Structure 1
Amino acid sequence: MQQPYESPGAVPVESGQAHPTRVLVVDDDPTVAEVVSGYLDRAGYLVDRAEDGPGALARAAAHWPDLVVLDLMLPGMDGLEVCRRLRGHGPVPVIMLTARGDEDDRILGLEVGADDYVTKPFSPRELVLRVESVLRRSGPPAVTRPLRSAGL
């Protein structure tokens, strides 16, 4: 088995600072959900889990996530519909995680609003890096200060 991935960029936040990054993992396969959650937790993310579409929407309503790792094939409501409904409530980055890897499925997932698409089987370390990448791209722009020189 692969060694756990320790991310240098997702260190838990000390109290009094901004909130830790919350990731919602939605997968009906308990083994996949546990592996993904474990790697994200070790990388410093606060992880919530749901095993079906309605549960994902309920968890998101209770604690809005900073990013969602979303299986496409879920009981109760598929991942595409979950993605649509989440995006209807507000902006949230979504990484689709699914066994359906043909081009039409990837295109549909991206058209619905997924920010990235990972097919099973996958490397948990790569998934953590993709989470970091999507969060970097979707985060607020860096605040820059004006340049000053000689009183200008």
Structure 2
Amino acid sequence: MIKLLHVEDDADIREIAEMSLSLSGEFEVTQCVSGEDALAQVKDFTPDVILLDMMMPGLTGRQTLEEMRKMPHLADVPAIFMTARAQAAELDELRDAGAADVISKPFDPMSLADQIKAVLGG
């Protein structure tokens, strides 16, 4: 099972992603409603991959990832951003910030698991 941490403030998107990933049968999904919530979760949890919303109240996805990267057990965990603002310049900026990939919203629930597995080399 691939342990995935999903950080997303929108309940509908959390639910769609959870259903999509659960259907694949290959993911164990832990969800958080904010960057702050995610940082509390990862103190005792090391996911195989992190799926982060970019725009959230409080800490943004990028700020959340920056804080996670300071934790030795999360320094090399692949991170994928989900954003509705997927302009080329922003995509490059997110990759420079350490994103393994960027998935545009609205995302395709049918291909989400495959997109994530592709990032993981699977």
Aligned equivalent of 1:33, options 14, 23, 37? 14
- Residue 134 in structure 1 maps to residue 119 in structure 2: yes
Aligned equivalent of 2:58, options 76, 79, 82? 76
1:114 and 1:133 map into 2 onto residues whose CA distance is 14
**For the Cα contact (< 8 Å) 1:86–1:92, is it kept in 2?**
no
What is the aligned-residue identity percentage?
Answer: 31
What residue number does 1:110 align with? 95
Kindly tell me the number of residue pairs found equivalent between the two proteins. Answer: 118
2:68 and 2:19 map into 1 onto residues whose CA distance is 24
Gaps of 5+ in 2: none
Gaps of 5+ in 1: 1-19, 138-152
TM-score (norm 1): 0.73
What residue number does 1:3 align with? none
Greater length-normalized contact order (CA 8 Å, ≥ 6 residues apart): 2
**One-letter amino acid of the counterpart of residue 7, structure 2:** V
Which has more helix, going by share of residues? 2
**One-letter amino acid of the counterpart of residue 18, structure 2:** S
1:51 and 1:115 map into 2 onto residues whose CA distance is 21
What residue number does 2:35 align with? 53
TM-score (norm 2): 0.90
Which has more strand, going by share of residues? 2
Aligned structure 1 segments of 4 or more residues deviating by more than 2 angstroms: none
